[in-house]
């Protein structure tokens, strides 16, 4: 184990997975260090997936995940694997088996999940950037909570071979950075896209998403919105959902649960792993979702995607809060977490259902803690968001 991982005082790096790999001698990421969430395979290392029984019952990886390989080939140095919330199915980043990484920018509060270790490592300056994953918000929310940049790409843009799945039709490979130029350089490598980025033409304010934010959040985000509006030239207010976003969330949960059960039912049934009570309850509910409900949700999802495509045509970007508010306290009561899940996932499910790219920009604080402003673009317009992030945050 290298010195940085060995001396990690943030609880970000895994102790059960020593993955230190030098990158290529040259490349666009030469001289940069990174970490990867412990759902990505690294050859010769076990992937733990946030659960000791998963670690125990799976062999070391035979190959390195392509997403990790691309970063190594681009010259970056992998320092290690970072903790994930159990089975990557948690919004706070707390893990009863391995502990909760420290959020240096909001002491005493959660880092956000499930890419908690990766976000904590970047925020704490342990690495230059890190890979996470985003199914329902597990890059965007911790980016907001930790005060760093975070990206969920268009679904399918970055290969997920060698990555433990949660819900495959929602899963994406996302990343974090503190510096906007590094953030864009990493994105260009992962997206394999060097084409010049277009400029946004319209900024759309998602009224129904902002309505779910905590008191004071919209006011805190206003200066950031002004910066983005100065690039776009036009600003208008829109309603994203044809129904309340809480209804969209219900459909998302049905699909996510069914896919997660399909992906892991055999292992759960055979191994009977030791799960935290909340994760156990989610698997039990997922097991019992009626197939007819899932089929309805699948068809309805395509209507949502079409609505989003129409809304974002012509290089429009949609602005919304990355999270309802500041990070909640560690070890918050269950009712606080349930409220967070309802409000946060109602906002975060928009991009997930419509398969859209979304970036979280660290442009505000609320109650002395970070709060991110999110921008969503049309499918495939990932580099548009990277360019906006670089311009707004002072990059070249």
Active site residues: 37, 114, 138
- Closest Cα partner for 83 from 143, 128, 35? 35
Query: Are the C-beta atoms of 58 and 36 separated by less than 8 Å?
Result: no
Q: Are 141 and 91 in contact (CB under 8 A)?
A: yes
Say whether the peptide bond before residue 114 is cis (omega within 30 degrees of 0): yes
CB atoms within 10 A of CB 322: 33
Query: What does DSSP assign to residue 13?
Result: B
Q: Which among 219, 82, 200, 193 has a CA at the least distance from the CA of 142? A: 82
Query: Which tokens belong to 46?
Result: 């076990």
Find tokens 């342990």 and name the residue.
Answer: 126
Backbone angles phi, psi at 173, to 5 degrees: -90, 110
Token output for 298:
């699948």
**What CA–CA distance (Å, rounded) separates 21 from 261?**
33
CA-to-CA separations, 60 to 35, 45, 84, 132, 197, in angstroms, rounded:
18, 5, 18, 20, 40
> Per the structure block, which two tokens stand in for 280?
């156990």
Quote the Cα angle for 291-292-296, to 5°.
Answer: 120
DSSP 362: E
Q: How far apart are CA 376 and CA 352, in angstroms?
A: 11
DSSP one-letter code for 106: S
Q: What are the C-alpha distances in Å from 217 to residues 198, 268, 309, 330, 369?
A: 29, 40, 27, 21, 11
In 111-233, where do the E strands start and end?
A: 129-134, 149-152, 172-177, 202-206
Q: Which helix (H) or strand (E) holds 71?
A: helix 66-73
If we measure between CA atoms, which residue out of 298, 323, 300, 314 comes closest to residue 374? 323
């Amino acid at each position: 184990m290298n010195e940085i991982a060995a001396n990690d005082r943030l609880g970000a790096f895994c102790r059960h997975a020593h993955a230190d790999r030098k990158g290529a001698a040259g490349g666009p990421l030469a001289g940069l260090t990174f970490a990867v969430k412990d759902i990505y395979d690294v050859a010769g290392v076990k992937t733990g997936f946030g659960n000791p029984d998963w670690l125990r019952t799976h062999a070391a990886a035979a190959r390195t995940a392509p997403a990790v390989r691309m970063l190594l080939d681009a010259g970056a140095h992998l320092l290690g694997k970072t903790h994930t919330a159990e089975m990557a199915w948690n919004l706070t980043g707390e893990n009863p088996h391995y502990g909760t990484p420290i959020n240096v920018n909001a002491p005493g509060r959660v880092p956000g999940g499930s890419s908690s270790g990766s976000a904590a490592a970047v925020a704490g300056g342990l690495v230059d950037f890190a890979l996470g994953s985003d199914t329902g918000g597990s890059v965007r929310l911790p980016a907001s909570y930790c005060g760093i940049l975070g990206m969920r790409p268009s679904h399918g843009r970055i290969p997920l071979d060698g990555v433990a799945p949660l819900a495959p039709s929602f899963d994406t490979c996302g990343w974090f950075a503190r510096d906007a130029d590094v953030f864009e350089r990493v994105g260009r490598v992962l997206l394999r896209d060097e084409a010049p980025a277009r400029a946004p033409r319209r900024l759309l304010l998602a009224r129904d998403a902002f309505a779910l934010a905590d008191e004071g959040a919209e006011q805190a985000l206003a200066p950031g919105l002004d910066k983005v509006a100065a690039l776009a030239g036009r600003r208008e207010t829109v309603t994203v959902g044809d129904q309340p976003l809480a209804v969209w969330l219900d459909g998302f949960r049905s699909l996510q649960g069914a896919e997660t059960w399909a992906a892991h039912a055999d292992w759960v049934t055979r191994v009977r792993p030791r799960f935290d009570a909340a994760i156990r309850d989610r698997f039990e509910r997922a097991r019992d979702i009626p197939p007819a409900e899932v089929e309805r949700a699948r068809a309805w999802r395509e209507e949502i995607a079409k609505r989003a495509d129409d809304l974002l045509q012509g290089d429009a970007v949609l602005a919304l809060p990355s999270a309802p508010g500041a990070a909640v306290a560690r070890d918050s009561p269950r009712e606080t977490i349930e409220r967070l899940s309802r409000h946060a996932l109602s906002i975060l499910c928009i991009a997930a259902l419509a398969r859209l790219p979304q970036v979280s920009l660290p442009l505000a604080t609320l109650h002395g803690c970070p709060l991110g402003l999110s921008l969503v673009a049309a499918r495939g317009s990932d580099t548009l968001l990277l360019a906006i992030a670089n311009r707004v945050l002072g990059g070249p």
